[in-house]
Amino acid sequence: MPSSSPKRKRLVGWTALLVLVLLAAGGYGVVMRAGGSARPEPTAAAARAVPVVAAAARARDMGVYITGLGSVTPLNTVIIHTRVDGQLLSVRFQEGQVVKSGDLLAEIDPQPFEAQLTQYQGQIARDQALLDNARLDLARYQTLAAQDAIPRQQLDTQQSLVRQLEGAVKNDQGLLESIRVQLAYCRITSPIGGRVGLRQVDPGNIVHTTDATGIVVITQLQPIAVVFTIPEDGIPAVLDRLERGGRLPVDAYDREQRRKLSTGSLLTIDNQVDPSTGTVKLKATFPNADGRLFSSQFVNARLLLDVKRNATVVPAAAIQRSPRGAFVYVVKPDRTVAVRPVTVGVADGDDVAIDAGLSVAEPVVVDGADRLRDGAAVAVQARPGA
């Protein structure tokens, strides 16, 4: 009996230890189940809203434009040449100066022409005196011939002499007028108003009428023209407006199409299409009162064909594209968005007209659309700078 007592004690100890382990395991399971049941289930209402920027569609007049690339072309460009050979005494303009028609530009040495003028004046005075004397003799011969006091041949000879001297006087008058014209050409004046370019010859040089470069180039800047091209598909619309008459406004913008340089009107359309590019040339005139347009300057031209009154307009950033076409995200009153297919019309700057699918005052997403889907919750934020 004594030998069995230690075994019984060990069995009781192991049994007690097993009971404690089972109790501990059961308690941990209860705690875990209690903790799991207390954790709330996630719901759609607790989903985080997507921050977006929205803008309301508005009504405004939208212009229907045809755009094209063009260059500034002066209505008149004149290379100033001398019309007489001689020494260039002085230049009376500053490079880049704006001159008016008739302004003095340069002077040629007039002394050789003044000397010829004096010579021709003396020659015509001599020939005129000879003519006057011949006419007096003719009058006497006519009286004597009537009295049969002189031969008829002498009268005929005197009449021929008078005609010869009359021709000589006329020739002298022509020479005199010619030298006076050349003397006037010694003062070189501007035939048009415009801006002078860089001087091509310095005072003191001998200039000739055959010089290729001339003295200076003058370009007319006010008014000035812009020649630009449009696709041939736009020809019917332009011709329709020209036939109806009225002024067709044309705006000239800089290379980046951000700054408007000047506003003019369409002058004409070319009579043929360039087959290599499929475009036609148009010419517009601009007052250019502020001188922003320069010869050969590159510009973007916009021809206004029509105006759509009270068009529904949204920012261009609101327009999204998909294989099915254009659409916008419309913000509904419950702060969710709905996909709305739209028909896009003309564009003007950062605005796009919506021909169908949207009404005025409906808010559309203009920033943050890349993170949206139909029915997504949104948090509308204020537009920067608003």
Q: What CATH class does 51-61+310-381 carry?
A: mainly beta
Q: By percentage, how much of the chain surpasses pLDDT 90?
A: 62
Strands 194-196 and 216-219: antiparallel
Q: Hey, do 51-61+310-381 and 110-184 end up sharing a CATH topology, with the first three levels equal?
A: no
User: Taking every pair of C-alpha atoms in the chain, what is the biggest distance, in angstroms?
Assistant: 210
Crossing angle of helices 111-146 and 152-185, in 10° steps, is: 160
Confidence of residue 47 (pLDDT cuts 50, 70, 90): low
Query: Is the model's pLDDT at 306 over the cut of 50?
Result: yes
Question: Which one is predicted more confidently, 236 or 43?
Answer: 236
pLDDT digits (tens, 9 = 90+) for 186-244: 999 999 999 999 999 999 999 999 999 999 999 998 999 999 999 999 899 899 888 88
Q: What is the mean pLDDT of residues 276-291?
A: 93
Q: Which residues pair with 253 in a beta bridge?
A: 260, 300
The residues spanned by each domain of the chain are 51-61+310-381, 110-184
Quick check: 138 and 159 in contact, CB under 8 A? yes
The pLDDT of residue 34: 38
pLDDT higher than threshold 80 for residue 40: no
Rounded CA gap, 187 and 164, in Å?
36
pLDDT at 29 over 70: no
Would you state the structure tokens that stand for residue 255, as one six-digit string? Answer: 């290379």
- Residue 138 predicted with pLDDT over 60: yes
Q: Which of 340-345's residues contact partners 24+ apart within 8 Å by CB, and which partners?
A: 340/364, 344/319, 345/62, 345/308, 345/311
pTM over 0.85: no
CB within 8 Å of 375: residues ≥ 6 apart: 336, 337, 338
Task: Flag whether pLDDT at 42 surpasses 80.
Answer: no
Per residue in 313-356, pLDDT (tens digit) is: 999 999 999 898 999 999 999 999 999 999 998 888 788 999 99
Q: Which residues pair with 41 in a beta bridge?
A: none
- The CATH number for 110-184, chosen from 1.10.287.470, 2.60.40.10, 1.10.540.10, 3.30.1490.190, is 1.10.287.470
Q: Residue 148's pLDDT is what?
A: 86
Q: Which of 122, 54, 46, 111 is nearest to 386 (CA)?
A: 54
Q: pLDDT at residue 54 above 60?
A: yes
